[in-house]
Amino acid sequence: MFPWGLSCLSVLGAAGTALLCAGLLLSLAQHLWTLRWTLSRDRASALPLPKGSMGWPFFGETLHWLVQGSRFHSSRRERYGTVFKTHLLGRPVIRVSGAENVRTILLGEHRLVRSQWPQSAHILLGSHTLIGSVGEPHRQRRKVLARAFSRAALQRFVPRLQGVLRREVRSWCAARRPVAVYQASKALTFRMAARILLGLRLDEAQCAELARTFEQFVENLFSLPLDVPFSGLRKARNLIHARIEENIRAKICGLRAAEAEAEAGGGCKDALQLLIEHSWERGERLDMQALKQSSTELLFGGHETTASAATSLITYLGLYPHVLQKVREELKSKGLLCKSNQDNKLDMEILGQLKYIGCVIKETLRLNPPVPGGFRVALKTFELNGYQIPKGWNVIYSICDTHDVADIFTNKEEFNPDRFMLPHPEDASRFSFIPFGGGLRSCVGKEFAKILLKIFTVELARHCDWRLLNGPPTMKTSPTVYPVDDLPARFTRFQGET
């Protein structure tokens, strides 16, 4: 054999040996990683850990989760059941679904579990938020914000919401090109959250710039918690806080004028103003960091999730024209469909009478809940569905999976708003339908979201027909549910009534 042949064999042999050693080391690391979590079970409990996989060392199953999206959870639920273990974003996690299991988690706040979002979300949102606070600070903050979502406040929001939504859907009908519904919905709901919920005085250019900055923020909300200089986490947080602080300082300077306007208009105050006044009433110095964090949380909750739900509404009404027809029949019965009556104003009483539209919204939220679940940490070891949940482990309760496995719903894959007509199935088990969460941490702005979605549906049905250009969309969750193609649709004016 030629010398170069022997040399090649020697190199190949060395490479093979190196690969074999690397494989053995990887296998050993995998075994030690699995053993590490097996030994972490609470030995004072005779119950086993839930079934599941902890994935690869350090990364766990995070990469699988990011790539597979909702399929990651559904595939493991099918394999391991409604309670299973995994490892995500650097933490051991118990994933929970099913009405009774979720009931235990949601009603166990401060006793079995407490809120603890992933470290990346904590870095971005901070501790001065509803999701980041616990105990008395959480109760006080929630009490203040509840005033911004009272029935009286919602009644005063309705005319502004209706005006904005009507102008928007008309612009979609006048557009010469197809509308990317998800992107358009995010821009719309961001403007409403910034101007109505927070009372920020922004022109169109400023609002668009802030919205673009916020996109970077949301993209990093659930990521590996690497809070280092020039990281996506720190850059997104600093950019959004800088933009918001400018507006907060301007708002504080003009707060007296805002108070006069609020009194003239019946006392309607936005959420940011209520937070500022709450500090003044308690004799506290204004904490700019707390105000920035609270504003950021309200922007996220007030627009990202609502845009997701609005996009899903357009999807289902576009795919099921008979449902849209029933919506219009209800509007006609209330005198709201006739386009010659353009000055017809909505209010809380009229919106409360639109029962079928309410059912359409519920069915949309059942199939596509905008927020997939909530994050907790176990305060002590406790039993759930025959397994131990070890103290210190993260617990994620799943909204979408709980809807999927709920026995009270028949033909679960079918879009059927009539299932929510009386008697309401959620009355049989209120934890089978939880689009806004539940317990002490249910969404504080859920009534605002419901009203906004009702007005949106009314204005869509009154003014628009539309066609989904790509048919039924593929949905992804990151961090809210959205169509991967942004749902391109062509809108035209509705000609059914004169």
Per-residue pLDDT tens digits for 268-283: 678 888 888 877 877 7
| pLDDT score, position 98 | 94
Given strand 91-96, what is the order of strands in its sheet? 83-88, 91-96, 394-398, 373-378, 113-115
- Across residues 375-396, what is the average pLDDT? 95
| Rounded Cα distance, 62 and 91, in Å | 10
More confident residue, 166 or 31: 166
| DSSP designation for 48 | P
Given a cut of 80, is residue 19 above it in pLDDT?
no
Please determine, for residue 5, whether its predicted confidence score (pLDDT) is greater than 70.
no
Domain positions in the chain are 135-493
Average pLDDT (87-98) is 91
Q: Which amino acids are annotated as binding site, given as ranges? A: 443
Residues making up the binding site for heme: 443
The helix or strand, by DSSP H or E, that contains position 311, with its residue range, turns out to be helix 305-319
Q: Report CA 314 to chain centroid distance, whole Å.
A: 18
Is residue 145 within 8 A of residue 153, CB to CB? The reply is no
Query: Cβ(297)–Cβ(289) under 8 Å?
Result: no
Predicted local confidence at residue 259, as pLDDT: 55
- Write the pLDDT tens digit of every residue in 335-376: 998 755 556 789 999 999 999 999 999 999 999 999 888 999
d(Cα 232, Cα 63) in Å, to the nearest integer? 17
The DSSP code for 240 is H
Q: What burial letters (b/e) apply to 269-298, b meaning 16+ CB within 10 Å? A: bbbbbbbbebeeeeeeeeeeebbbbbbbbb
Q: Lowest mean pLDDT: which of 59-63, 307-311, 398-402?
A: 59-63
Q: How far is CA 214 from the centre of its chain?
A: 15
258 or 314, which is more confident:
314
Topology of the domain comprising 135-493: Cytochrome p450 (1.10.630)
Q: How far is CA 434 from CA 97, 263, 400, in A?
A: 11, 37, 9
Instruction: Give the containing element (helix H, strand E) for 273.
Output: helix 271-281
**How does DSSP assign 122-176, residue by residue?**
HHHH-SSSTTT--HHHHHHHHHHHHHHTSHHHHHHHHHHHHHHHHHHHHHHHH-S
Task: Tell me the whole-structure pTM to 2 decimals.
Answer: 0.86
Which of 356, 462, 368 has its CA nearest to residue 417?
356
**Which pLDDT belongs to residue 26?**
67
Hey, what are 447's tokens?
């009534």
More confident residue, 421 or 497: 421
Mean pLDDT, all residues of the chain: 84
CA 449 to chain CA centroid, Å, is 12
Rounded CA-CA distance 157/140 in Å is 23
Average pLDDT for residues 104-128, to the nearest whole number?
A: 82
